């Protein structure tokens, strides 16, 4: 008699709606968080809104990231701070789950990364973005991309938009710039 063993049914995971009143903490990413960060980034990357990242790269780079996580460990947002010199850093891979847009999490992630930059003595933080209005409201201003050193463009080698880059460079100084810290 042939016994057929059916593989277990794989059901799509349906996440509950986000409760806007539930507490969300902005904290350094843990390695396990990166498994939730990956689809967050790559769903937006599939819409050409940001650069794709593999799980392997994200796990390797987890120390650069902070996440916005609820008290059950659900990651609703993420962003990273990439250091280029003792004074210059970039905000990378900023993303918020569409179910949580407009709740202020993107702004909170940016402000946390700015605080971290200031603590490190970084004076200038920049971002390459299609959401320049979002960054302007957080005190960033648009600058020429040419002002950044060549090593900033290392990631661009793998970008499908390499020769047709439509991202806008925005930057903001930290309080460390005025010798305030």
Which residue is closest to ligand COA by CB?
106
The residue within the footprint of ligand COA, chosen from 103, 113, 114, 169 (CB under 6 A), is 103
Residues 15-44 that bind ligand COA (CB under 6 A): 44
Cβ closest to ligand COA, residue 7 vs residue 144? 144
The residue within the footprint of ligand COA, chosen from 55, 101, 141, 161 (CB under 6 A), is 101
Q: Which stretch binds ligand COA (CB under 6 A): 25-33, 100-108, 115-123, 145-153?
A: 100-108
What are the distances in angstroms from CA 4 to CA 8, 9, 132? Answer: 12, 14, 56
Q: Tell me the number of residues near ligand COA by CB under 6 A.
A: 20
- The secondary structure of residue 50, as a DSSP letter, is S
Interatomic CA distance for residues 172 and 144, integer angstroms: 13
Residue tagged 């100084």 (tokens): 173
What does the binding site for ligand COA look like in residue numbers (CB under 6 A)?
44, 49-50, 94-96, 101-107, 127, 129-131, 133-134, 137
């Amino acid at each position: 008699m042939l016994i057929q063993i059916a593989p277990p049914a794989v059901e799509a995971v349906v996440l509950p709606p986000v409760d806007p009143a539930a507490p969300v903490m902005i904290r350094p990413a843990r390695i396990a968080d990166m498994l939730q960060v990956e689809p967050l980034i790559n769903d937006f990357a599939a819409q050409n809104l940001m650069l794709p990242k593999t799980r392997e790269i994200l796990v390797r780079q987890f120390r650069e990231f902070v996440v916005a996580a609820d008290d059950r460990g659900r990651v609703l947002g993420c962003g990273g701070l990439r250091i280029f010199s003792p004074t210059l850093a970039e905000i990378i891979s900023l993303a918020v789950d569409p179910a949580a847009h407009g709740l202020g999490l993107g702004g909170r992630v940016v402000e946390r990364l700015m605080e971290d930059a200031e603590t490190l003595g970084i004076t200038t933080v920049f971002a390459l973005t299609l959401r320049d209005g979002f960054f302007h409201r957080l005190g960033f201003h648009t600058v020429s991309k040419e002002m950044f050193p060549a090593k900033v463009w290392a990631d661009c080698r793998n970008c499908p938009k390499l020769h047709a880059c439509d991202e806008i460079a925005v930057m903001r100084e930290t309080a460390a710039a005025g010798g305030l810290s």
